[in-house]
Amino acid sequence: MKSLIVALPIVLAVAFMTLAERKLMGAIQRRVGPNSVGFLGLLQPFFDGIKLILKETVLPLESNHWIFVLAPFLTFYLALLNWLVIPLDKGLVLMDLEASLLYLLAISSLGVYGIIYSGWAANSKWTLLGSLRSTAQMVSYEVSMSLIVLAVVYIGSSVNLVEIAYLQSALMFFWPLWPIAIIGFIAALAETNRAPMDLPEAESELVAGFMTEHSAISFTFLFLAEYTNIITISTLLNLFFFGFYNPIIIYLFIWVRASLPRLRFDQLLKLGWVYLLPILIAFLLIEPAILYTFDLF
């Protein structure tokens, strides 16, 4: 029942986010976005979803059929599980765990398995390479994201997301963390496979990456999982660094996609391991000195 309570609002949020993305990218690129289906194109994502669901599910002959069908659903289901512990409002959380941040890290690390199985089960070179890229990318930036969470826990003295949200509700006292907010956003782009870090889905190299052989409902689940993760990580960044819900992070996801070219894969991994990780480690070492110097505890 809780999963259903989470799923319906998230699916609606994804629908309107895709519409906002297409409208905003149209404005940035000086073209017209969706404007024909319904008033101002508001019904476009719903008709797109119906069209996808009604299409035929094509199973590749050499694929592992059961895993091929179930892996996309697993990916979406794991993306939804994050929302069980995220506070939707003051006093409104479906599952108030004492260690909700650790729960989020565990679930987010499991999400890569759905992508691996989605690519491997298709028995295609494109999907396999896409899933391998996604795995390497997510593992690389999961380390950076974990260190960012550690910094938040250090200042908030809690691993409970509700308590951290309450601490920041009246005053954004986490301002010492703002220097790493940019790193958090970069890691979020890599974690969600978004441009300019969408190497697992690079059309010019891998057709559609790990989603190449998927169609109809299986593609829909993968699509929903990707955008659910974007909304999830945008919400977490807002809670970590600003203490309130603000759509500006989602806007930045769209703006970056419309503006920046794709990185090479070696550049992407080098950015994570050679630059971002040492900066985060150095920040964690000097953070206690900053806090005690300015008496921020």
pLDDT in tens, 198-235: 888 777 777 777 888 888 888 889 889 989 999 999 98
pLDDT at 25 over 60: yes
Closest listed residue to residue 193, CA positions, set 247, 148, 137: 137
Tell me how many degrees the CA angle 274-276-279 measures, rounded to the nearest 5.
Answer: 100
Per the model's pLDDT, the better-predicted residue between 296 and 116 turns out to be 116
The Cα–Cα gap between 106 and 116 comes to 17
pLDDT, one tens digit per residue, over 69-116 is 898 899 999 998 888 888 877 667 778 788 888 899 888 888 888 888
pLDDT at 172 over 60: no
The Cα–Cα gap between 86 and 224 comes to 18
Contacts with 170 (C-beta within 8 Å, 6 or more apart), sequence order: none
Tell me how many degrees the CA angle 36-38-39 measures, rounded to the nearest 5.
Answer: 95
The Cα–Cα gap between 173 and 139 comes to 30
8-state DSSP, 242 = T
The Cα–Cα gap between 101 and 159 comes to 5
Q: What is the pLDDT of residue 232?
A: 92
Q: What is the pLDDT of residue 37?
A: 82
Read off the tokens for 147: 């260190």
The Cα–Cα gap between 78 and 187 comes to 19
Q: What is the pLDDT of residue 154?
A: 81
pLDDT, one tens digit per residue, over 6-24 is 778 888 888 889 888 888 8
Q: What is the pLDDT of residue 275?
A: 92
- Please state which of the ranges 32-36, 77-81, 138-142 shows the lowest mean pLDDT: 32-36
Closest listed residue to residue 127, CA positions, set 208, 195, 191, 217: 208
176, 287 contact by CB (below 8 A) = yes
Q: What is the pLDDT of residue 277?
A: 92
The Cα–Cα gap between 58 and 213 comes to 8
pLDDT at 65 over 70: yes
Q: What is the pLDDT of residue 90?
A: 67
pLDDT, one tens digit per residue, over 231-290 is 999 988 888 887 666 788 888 898 898 888 888 888 989 998 999 999 999 888 887 777
How far the first Cα of the chain sits from its last, in Å, is 40
CA atoms within 13 A on the CB side of 196: 15
Q: What is the pLDDT of residue 169?
A: 63
Q: What is the pLDDT of residue 278?
A: 92
How many Cβ atoms from other residues are within 10 Å of residue 288's Cβ?
Answer: 12
Per the model's pLDDT, the better-predicted residue between 11 and 176 turns out to be 11
Q: What is the pLDDT of residue 170?
A: 58
State the pTM of this model.
Answer: 0.89
Q: What is the pLDDT of residue 140?
A: 87
